[in-house]
Structure 1
Amino acid sequence: MMDPCYSAQDVLRCALCETAVVQMHCDTCLVNLCTTCVGKHMISDESKDHKVVKYQVKKSTPLYPECTTHSKEQCTMYCNQCDIPVCDTCIASHQHLGHKFLTILQIQDEKKNKIIKEHTELKETIFPTYQDIASDVQNRISQLEKEYGDLSTAITKHGEDWHREIDKLVKKLKAEVDEMKNTQIQTLQKHMDEINKTMSDIKEEINAFEIAINFNDLSKLFRVKFNVDRYKKLPQKIVPSAPKFMPGKNQEKEFHDTFGALTLSSLTSDEQSYSMKFSPPEPEIVTTVDTWYDYLYNVACLSDEEIWTSGDENIMKLFSINQGSRLRSITTKSGYPPSNIAVTKSGALIYTDLNVRTVNIVKKKKIEEVIRLRNWRPNGVCSASSGDLLVIMYSDDVTQTKVVRYSGSTKKQTIQFDDKGKPLYSSGGYYDRYITENRNLDICVSDHRAKSVVVVNQAGKLRFRYSGHTPALKIKPISPRGITTDSQSHILTADCDNDCVHVIDQDGQFLCYIDCGLRNPWGLCIDTNDNLFVAEWRNKKVKKIIYLK
Structure 2
Amino acid sequence: MDPSHSAQDVVRCALCRDAVAPMYCNVCHMHLCDDCVAKHLSDKSQVHSVVSLTQYLSTLHCPKCSDHPDNQCKLYFENCDCPICLHCVTSEKHKHHDLFNLKELYQDKQEVIRNDLEELEKLVYPKYQEAATHIPVQRADGSQHWQQLRSALHKKREVLHQAIDDIIQTRQEEIGDQATRYTTAIDKQEDVINAAIKEIKQTIHKLKNLLEAGDVCLVSGYKSSNDKLRKLPPKLKVTLSNIQPLEINTQLLKEFVSLSPLSVKTEEQGLTVPSAGAEALFPARLLLSVPRLITDIPCGDQDLCNVSCLSDEEIWTCGENNILKLYDLDGVLRKSVQTKSGNMPQDIAVTRSGDLVYVDYWDSSINLVLTNDTQKQRMVKLSGKESSAKIQTLVYVGGWKPLNLCCMFSGELLVIMDSDDAKQTKVVRFSGFTPKQIIQWDDQNEPLYTSGYNTKYLSENRNLDICVADRGAGAVVVVSAAGKLRFRYTGPPSTHHGSFIPREITTDSHGNILTTDQYSNSVHIIDEDGLFLRYIDIGLQYPVGLFVDSKDNLFVAEWETGKVKKLQYYK
Q: What TM-score comes out, normalization by structure 2 length?
A: 0.51
Match of 2:273 in 1: 269
2:402 corresponds in structure 1 to 378
Measure the CA separation in 2 of the matches of 1:302 and 1:226: 43
Per the alignment, residue 306 of structure 1 pairs with: 314
The question of 1:529 aligning with 2:551 is answered: yes
Point out 4+ residue stretches in structure 1 off by more than 2 angstroms.
Answer: 203-216, 224-238, 270-279
1:539 CA displacement: 1.4
Q: Give distance in 2, aligned partners of 1:409 and 1:347.
A: 18
> 1:250-276 CA deviation, whole Å, 9 max, x = no partner?
xxxxxxxxxxxxxxxxx9724799896
The alignment partner of 1:333 has SS state of: coil
What displacement does 1:344 show? 0.6
Deviation at 1:445, TM superposition (A): 0.7
Which residue of 2 is the match for residue 48 of structure 1?
none
Give the 3 Å change call, closer, same or farther, for CA 233–362 of structure 1 in structure 2. farther
Cα distance in 1 for residues equivalent to 2:297 and 2:103 = 39
Q: CA deviation at 1:449?
A: 1.0
Tell me the equivalent position of 2:181: none
1:44 is matched with none
Q: Go from structure 1 to structure 2 and tell me whether the alpha carbon gap of 1:472 and 1:351 turns closer, same or farther (over 3 Å shift).
A: same
Q: What's the counterpart of residue 466 of structure 1?
A: 489
The structural deviation recorded for 1:279 is 2.5
1:106-143: per-residue Cα shift (whole Å, max 9, x none)? Answer: xxxxxxxxxxxxxxxxxxxxxxxxxxxxxxxxxxxxxx
Pick the aligned partner of 1:349 from 315, 338, 356. Answer: 356
C-alpha distance after superposition, 1:343-391 (max 9, x if no partner): 0111100100110000001003211000101110101101101010000
Unaligned segments of structure 1, at least 5 residues = 1-196, 217-223, 239-266
Deviation for aligned residue 1:324: 1.2
Alignment-mate amino acid for residue 536 of structure 2: I
Matching residue's letter, 1:337: M
Q: Is this contact kept in 1: 2:75–2:86, CA < 8 A? A: no
TM-score computed with the length of structure 1 as normaliser? 0.53
Contact 1:446 1:482 in 2 (8 A): yes
Rounded to whole Å, the distance in 1 between the matches of 2:279 and 2:417 is 33
Q: Indicate how the Cα distance of structure 1 residues 412 and 214 shifts in structure 2: closer, same or farther if over 3 A, else same.
A: closer
How far 1:211 sits from its partner (Å)? 3.8
Contact (CA 8 Å) 2:525, 2:533: kept in 1 or not? yes
Query: Which residue is equivalent to 2:294?
Result: 286
CA 1:524–1:326 in 2, change beyond 3 Å: closer, same or farther? same
Q: Which residue of 1 aligns with 2:561?
A: 539
> Which residue is 2:523 aligned to?
501
Tell me the equivalent position of 1:400.
424
Separation (CA, whole Å) in 2 of partners of 1:408 and 1:214: 54
Residue 407 of structure 2 is aligned to residue 390 of structure 1: no
CA offsets, 1:453-494, max 9 Å, x none?
Answer: 11111101111111111322412x112111111110110001
Instruction: Label 1:210 to 1:318 Cα distance change in 2 as closer, same or farther (>3 A).
Output: same
Decide whether aligned partners of structure 1 residues 344 and 270 sit closer, same or farther in structure 2, where only a CA change above 3 A counts. Answer: farther
Shift in CA distance, 392/226, structure 1 to aligned 2, threshold 3 Å = farther
- Amino acid corresponding to residue 465 of structure 1 in structure 2: R
Letter in 2 for 1:391: V
Give distance in 2, aligned partners of 1:215 and 1:522.
44
The size of the alignment, in residue pairs, is 315
Change (3 A) 1:204 1:268: farther
Q: Which residue of 1 aligns with 2:439?
A: 415
**1:310-349 maps to which residues of 2 (within 5 A)?**
310-321=318-329, 323-349=330-356
Decide which structure has the larger Cα Rg and report it.
2
Deviates more, 1:398-407 or 1:270-279: 270-279
The answer to whether the 8 A contact 1:391-1:405 is kept is yes
Deviations 1:150-170 (A, max 9, x none): xxxxxxxxxxxxxxxxxxxxx
Q: Is contact 2:403-2:418 (8 Å) kept? A: yes
Counterpart secondary structure, 1:547: strand
Counterpart amino acid of 2:406?
C
Distance 2:489 2:569 in 1: 21
Q: Is the 8 A contact 1:375 1:396 kept in 2?
A: yes
- Measured in 1, the distance between the counterparts of 2:368 and 2:332 equals 24
Q: Deviation of residue 227 (structure 1)?
A: 11
Identity of aligned residues (%): 45
Contact 1:278–1:511 (8 Å) recurs in 2 = no
